[in-house]
Structure 1
Amino acid sequence: MTNRERVTHALRFEPVDRVPYQIDFTHNMRAAMQAYTGQADFDRDIDQAIESEYLIKPEVEVGPELFRDEFGVIWNKSGVDKDIGVIDNILLPDPEALDSFELPPVDEAYLRSRMEALMARRGNRFTIAAIGFSLFERAWTLCGMENLLCYMALEPAFVHALMERIVERNLRIIDIALDYDIDCFHFGDDWGQQKGLIMGPTHWREFIKPYLKRMYDRVHAHGKFVSQHSCGDIRPVMDDLDELGLDMYQTFQPEIYGLDYAKVLRGRIAIWGGISTQTQLPFLSPEGVSDAVRALIDAFDGTGLVAAPTHSVPGDVPPQNIIALIDALKRYSVR
């Protein structure tokens, strides 16, 4: 089997010859591994299952460790997090500001150049086009997290109007990506916290679910899989996601769900993740990491799983544990 076939079979809960796996790294962790191994391409022998492309224009540096994204949001990366950062400005300070605010136009030529690059490097991997900060996250980066949560209760018409604009723009991007031979479209959007949803299931169903349905339906109409990222505990709406036809959920945090939750999802929603960057990789011994990988693969009984860290591996993970992770994935993935 090729990796493309492995992931496709896993998403259909069909037998695979080997559990597909994927390891992504933050900038800090990649630099640490390069220093530890003495090799710039230390990850060249990881048989990565997935090739992906996030369809957003690159940020522009506008000051020391300050970066502006294509929406006009300024990201401050002067802290520990050098990959995402924290927002430094509010573009929609009140609901009335939406009347004069325009989302950036979709740069079709640029997006097609990125899709063509994705097609050129895909090899035999499962290929994903993606929108990060796809809905809830895009909204709160524009008006502020606390503000958005208050608006859900006090200004629901504003929230719906903002979500409508965001989803219409997303659909244009999705349509461009679907012109290419991708396998899946992935949406990044954090809804969960360590226990439960940030906005609660009632507001999720009002302000998130209807717009997800439109995007999922567009992808499914072209015969492609849908993948959804959310950190945290989203069990209160997992049945809703199943109803919407979600094919793969990223990321499955074992400290939140427990490996027994695999039985709840089996035959319904496949998982991408399962190896914790919160409680396992930074703190376990290399032997403990190996045991965690084996337990994850055993819990899913060999299918319905893309084994992976629950996030791009952060810089606080000992390099020895990365070596153990790679070795364990190679060893235990074969069924």
Structure 2
Amino acid sequence: LAGAQKFMTGGTSLRPFERMQFLRGSQNLFIDLGYETAEMLRLLDMVHEFHMAELTEAVKTDVDALRFMDDWGAQQSLLISPDQWRKLFKPLYRQYCDAIHAAGKKVFFHSDGHIFDIYEDLIELGMDAINSQLFCMDIEEIGRRFKGRTTFWGEIDRQHVLPFGTVDEVRAAVARVRAALDDPAGGVFAQCEWGVNNPPENVVAVFEAWEAR
């Protein structure tokens, strides 16, 4: 917001991979992708056309950034090959990023899972902030490769540390993220997403650790 002291983000429903799963079912879509059927490619075009129509309106809103997402990772790898991702989905993402940037806004992107193999691509596309499931990847290697080239949109381990860890383990996790990723050229948001069964003291510890200097 021009002249304001706040930075406002706006959500969108852009998620072509997940939208296709909603329409086809995950198992059917993976079979479609395996064969790259003509019907699947047509569906991809239709979903992309729908998303571009939405984005045409979203970029007119008075926000500083627009968010979109797709969950691309399993626990140890991408759900499809990096080459297929680059062939089918990266060009769509480029159009989303270009449209958002052309409107003078930043791009915030989220994906769960192990997405290390496409991190370089996401940065090359111009993702201004990336929210990923850091703790199923090598956080230090992410820092060595990408620190200062994008803004890391937080994340403290929601699978193990937040629900089951001690307060000291939570603080150590925050320190690890900060040490690996924080940089004046990009930085890292003090973000924490938690579930209903997470101990409240662990959630408090996340933000206390972020505030500590």
- Normalization by structure 1: what TM-score? 0.58
Native 8 Å contact 2:130 2:152 kept in 1 = yes
Structure 1 equivalent of residue 190 of structure 2 = 307
Gaps of 5+ in 2: none
Structure with bigger helix share is 2
Write the distance in 2 (CA, Å) between the matches of 1:158 and 1:169.
17
2:82 aligned with 1:201: yes
2:31 aligned with 1:150: yes
1:118-129 alignment, distance < 5 Å: 124-129=5-10
Secondary structure, counterpart of 2:212 in structure 1? helix
Alpha carbons of structure 1 residues 133 and 172: separation in structure 2 relative to 1, 3 Å: closer
CA shift at 1:136, angstroms? 0.2
Alpha carbons of structure 1 residues 302 and 237: separation in structure 2 relative to 1, 3 Å: closer
Write the distance in 2 (CA, Å) between the matches of 1:179 and 1:155.
35
Question: Cα deviations across residues 257-311 of structure 1 (Å, max 9, x unaligned)?
Answer: 32342121123222112311112111221122122212322323444211223xx
Alpha carbons of structure 1 residues 151 and 230: separation in structure 2 relative to 1, 3 Å: same
Native 8 Å contact 1:250 1:273 kept in 2 = yes
Using the aligned pairs only, state the percent identity: 30
Structure 2 equivalent of residue 328 of structure 1 = 209
Write the distance in 2 (CA, Å) between the matches of 1:274 and 1:233.
13
* Greater RCO, CA 8 A, separation 6+: 1
Write the distance in 1 (CA, Å) between the matches of 2:27 and 2:168.
42
Native 8 Å contact 1:192 1:232 kept in 2 = yes
Native 8 Å contact 2:76 2:136 kept in 1 = no
Q: Which amino acid aligns with 2:55?
A: I
Structure 2 equivalent of residue 229 of structure 1 = 110
Write the distance in 2 (CA, Å) between the matches of 1:301 and 1:242.
16
CA shift at 1:155, angstroms? 4.2
Write the distance in 2 (CA, Å) between the matches of 1:242 and 1:132.
21
2:93 aligned with 1:216: no
- Greater Rg, structure 1 or structure 2? 1
Secondary structure, counterpart of 2:137 in structure 1? helix
Write the distance in 2 (CA, Å) between the matches of 1:326 and 1:208.
35
Q: Which amino acid aligns with 1:141?
A: F
2:59 aligned with 1:178: yes
Alpha carbons of structure 1 residues 274 and 262: separation in structure 2 relative to 1, 3 Å: farther
Structure 1 equivalent of residue 198 of structure 2 = 317
Structure with bigger strand share is 1
Tell me how large the CA RMSD over aligned residues is. Answer: 2.1
Alpha carbons of structure 1 residues 135 and 203: separation in structure 2 relative to 1, 3 Å: same
Secondary structure, counterpart of 1:308 in structure 2? coil
Write the distance in 1 (CA, Å) between the matches of 2:84 and 2:141.
28
* Displacement over 3 Å in runs of 4+: none
Aligned residues: 210
Alpha carbons of structure 1 residues 186 and 223: separation in structure 2 relative to 1, 3 Å: same
Gaps of 5+ in 1: 6-122
Write the distance in 1 (CA, Å) between the matches of 2:58 and 2:13.
14
Aligned with residue 290 of structure 1, among 171, 176, 197: 171
Structure 2 equivalent of residue 83 of structure 1 = none
Q: Which amino acid aligns with 1:134?
A: R
Secondary structure, counterpart of 2:73 in structure 1? coil
Structure 2 equivalent of residue 263 of structure 1 = 144
